[in-house]
Amino acid sequence: MNNSKIIKRLRPTHLIGVLTILGAGCAVVLSFLRVIDLTRAEEIIITLLCLIAADALIERLFVLQKIESKLDKEKSVLKGREDIITPDKMAKNAKSIYVLAISACSIGIPYVNFYENKLREGCNIKFILLSPSSKYLNAVDIQNLDKIQTKPHIDAALEALRPLAKRRNYRGKFEIRLSDVFFPFSIVGADLEKNTGKMTVEYHCYKVPLDSRPHIFLEKEKDQFWFNFYQNQFELAWADAKRI
């Protein structure tokens, strides 16, 4: 911690500790210069007081730094689209990939080649998309800022992804299911069943452009409660979704 950071973290409550250190230090220096007369025992006591005050002050600054660091982390839990981790980076070394989305146009179609390469490596991939015949399609369209029609996007994603599901050598490894229910979030996850699992959860908001949607990044080891929550959400959605 540099001097400027230390000064910024000093508070009025630290004044006693700072004055104790300064006073004790001055007394020892003046005694050394023979300006004042202190016995050896007094010098030792003053030195000990100085050390105790310094230790207490350092501990307070350390605790304050941890609190501020934690608050800063909590403030940045929700992230913007510019910070999102793309599927090819998140699942680069994954053995399983999980996707829950409305149409998956942004996380499906652009990464078809990536998913196919992962399948060749033996990766298992599960996709859940909103059904093109869902009664919630109109509700999704109303939420869109630019009045974009959702169904054509779902159809386009299915056209791009379905060939992977139909290939004989990928059967059982690449599965697509359709949900009649509209979920207020999307999930892209890698190795959810492992301790090294991670996922991005993006929230669908009212009249908000795609690039402004907030999301959170979760790791199983660090964010166990919410990671397990959204993993369970995916599993429930998968169980209720229809095979194609």
Q: What is the pLDDT of residues 169-182, one digit of tens each?
A: 888 899 999 999 99
Beta bridge partners of 202: 186, 215
Per-residue pLDDT of 186-233, as tens digits, reads: 999 999 999 999 999 999 888 888 788 899 999 999 999 999 999 999
Residues constituting the chain: 244
pLDDT at 5: 47
Residues 6+ apart with CB under 8 A from 17: 53, 54, 56, 57, 60
212 neighbors 80 (Cβ within 8 angstroms): yes
Residues 6+ apart with CB under 8 A from 75: none
Residues 6+ apart with CB under 8 A from 180: 131, 133, 134, 135, 136, 242
